[in-house]
Amino acid sequence: KNEVEQSPQNLTAQEGEFITINCSYSVGISALHWLQQHPGGGIVSLFMLSSGKKKHGRLIATINIQEKHSSLHITASHPRDSAVYICAVPPGSQGNLIFGKGTKLSVKP
Amino acid sequence: KAGVTQTPRYLIKTRGQQVTLSCSPISGHRSVSWYQQTPGQGLQFLFEYFSETQRNKGNFPGRFSGRQFSNSRSEMNVSTLELGDSALYLCASSLVGSSSYEQYFGPGTRLTVT
């Protein structure tokens, strides 16, 4: 069993739809990262959160430490949101991350 | 602030050769982590350097090595290249380490081994 599981693996949405991507993990963590990777390969950090909820524009991330689960929501999705979204956790106190397999999102106009 | 830079961006090597990749972190960041991304295995942690010391290492063979300089710039080296080493190599910098601080990723070096 992978230590970080994401669902769904692929997601196609129409522009304007509300999107939810889920991440479950099995290790104890101090924080969880949501990352975005565009087709060119570059990775952008969207959120790092250790409790509750964070919001940046149309993106919302939530985490439930007790249930070891996090969700990334995109409101009013747009074609430019098309990317791979990756959940990652640091299993220890140092610098490594364990990654989920990613969710490939395609938003159609 | 300038972002994380990686050089070169693209590289083609043949089996058996060695390669050195470079990463310059954001100014003031002391932690540099390296990751390998392949279609089959996804993103995997290679190693992390903090203040010129390797602090953590992933499950990769000894052909993969790295170092960090006093200005926090880091290099990784892969010796005796194999076809399976073809991948996107990403580095990320953070103030201290990913568990407590946001990581900032470079654009990556795409290595092709033929």
Q: For A11-57, what is each residue's pLDDT tens digit?
A: 999 999 999 999 999 877 778 999 999 987 789 999 999 899 999 99
Report the mean per-residue pLDDT for chain A. 92
CA distance B65 to chain A (A): 16
List CB contacts (< 8 A) between B60 and chain A.
none
Work out the average pLDDT over B90-110: 85
Q: Say if A39 is an interface residue toward chain B (CB within 8 Å).
A: no
DSSP assigned state of B15: T
Checking if the pLDDT of B3 tops 70, the result is yes
The larger pLDDT score, comparing residue A8 to residue A28, is at A8
Give the list of residues 6+ apart from residue A57 with CB closer than 8 angstroms, or none. Answer: none
pLDDT band, very low/low/confident/very high, at B9 (cuts 50, 70, 90): very high
* Residue among B48, B104, B105 whose CB faces A96 most closely: B48
List CB contacts (< 8 A) between B99 and chain A.
29-31, 90, 92-95
CB contact (8 A) between residue A42 and residue B98: no
Give the pLDDT score at B55: 87
Neighbours of A32 (CB within 10 A): 24
Q: Say if A84 is an interface residue toward chain B (CB within 8 Å).
A: no
Give the pLDDT score at B1: 67
How, if at all, do strands B109-113 and B10-13 pair? parallel
CB contact (8 A) between residue B33 and residue A96: yes
Give the pLDDT score at A93: 60
The model's pLDDT over B17-34, given as tens digits with 9 standing for 90+, comes to 999 999 999 999 999 999
3-state secondary structure of A80: helix
Give the pLDDT score at A28: 76
Checking if the pLDDT of B2 tops 70, the result is yes
